Amino acid sequence: MDISMDMIKELKERSGAGIVDCKNVLKETDGNIDEAADILRKKGLSKADKKADRAAKEGLVVHKMSADNKKGLVIKLNCETDFVAKTEKYQNFCSEAADLVFSKNYPFSTELPADLDELRRNTIAKVGENILVSEWAYIDAKGVLFPYIHLAKVGVIADFIFGKDISKDDDTQQFMKNIAMQITAMKPLGVTTDDIPADVVAKEKEIYMEEARATGKPEPVIEKIAEGKLKKFFEEAVLLEQFYILDEEKRMKDIVAEFSKSKGVDVKVASFIRINL
């Protein structure tokens, strides 16, 4: 049977395989495109397994929001090179993977759901690089969700509670964006000190106490040194205690309070999620 270029093109688009491979498999299957696609897919999955140990440190971070804006997802998807990360095939995969995870509400696990892993491995066969679905997180709105993606490398969704709905105002949108940019740049662990897990705080204080004891100072002084360092830790790890990246004379709690006063509306940053490449 003669194998036409249209048949080769169709198979190439379906499988992502090269022209020569498509032509050879079409000859093998007497022009049966469906059968040829299955053969190429199996070969591609085999190649995907061989690429599994290759480092994948590039990629994209993308987000997905529900139609009512009440739930959000941020997901990190790695590949080997920035070149592949910029391709349409890879970006389509990222979008499909986010849709799949979000629609099925999959909890994050290092062992991927079967359909997500199949999508991943099929894409490996098409782009020729190892791909990982490395991390994802959800956020449910208590108020208004604001998503922010920085250069496709950092994804943030922050949840804001307003005493009355002013979320559509231009200055409120800018306020929410500024908060999201702060979270992007400064990597806080929580909104307030209460959000930092007790075991994390205890571990930090233990480290500071040991460091102080190594100086030979008396125990009361050691306690004060540790408390001072713990305060510094909170200034770095807690969003509202951080200094504002756009005005380092002010803390984030001052920025929120000033905006709240200017609007005559109670404003609260309820929570956030942040994932970076």
The predicted-structure confidence for 152-211, as pLDDT tens digits, reads as follows 999 999 999 999 999 999 999 999 999 999 999 999 999 999 999 999 999 998 999 888
Q: What pLDDT score does 34 carry?
A: 86
Instruction: Classify 53-140 by CATH class.
Output: alpha beta
Q: What pLDDT score does 47 carry?
A: 54
Three-state SS at 95: helix
State how far the Cα of 9 lies from the Cα of 130, in Å rounded to an integer.
25
The predicted-structure confidence for 225-256, as pLDDT tens digits, reads as follows 989 999 999 999 999 999 999 999 999 999 99
pLDDT at 46 > cutoff 60 = no
- Burial track 121-133 (b if 16+ CB lie within 10 A, e otherwise): bbbbbbbbbbbbb
One DSSP character per residue, 236-275 reads HHBGGGSEETTEEEEEHHHHHHHHHHHHTS-EEEEEEEEE
State how far the Cα of 130 lies from the Cα of 132, in Å rounded to an integer.
7
CATH number of the 5-50 domain: 1.10.8.10
Three-state SS at 193: helix
The predicted-structure confidence for 48-81, as pLDDT tens digits, reads as follows 555 566 778 999 999 999 999 999 999 999 999 9
What are the residue ranges spanned by the domains of the chain? 5-50, 53-140
Q: What pLDDT score does 10 carry?
A: 84
| Top-ranked range on mean pLDDT: pick from 2-16, 33-47, 100-114, 120-134 | 100-114
State how far the Cα of 104 lies from the Cα of 99, in Å rounded to an integer.
8
Q: What percent of the chain shows pLDDT beyond 90?
A: 69
180-to-139, 159, 188 alpha-carbon distances in Å: 14, 10, 11
State how far the Cα of 254 lies from the Cα of 234, in Å rounded to an integer.
16
The predicted-structure confidence for 5-22, as pLDDT tens digits, reads as follows 888 888 777 766 678 778
Are 226 and 204 contacting, i.e. CB atoms less than 8 angstroms apart? no
Query: What mean pLDDT value characterizes the chain?
Result: 91
Please state the length of the chain: 277
And the tokens for 70? 């009440």
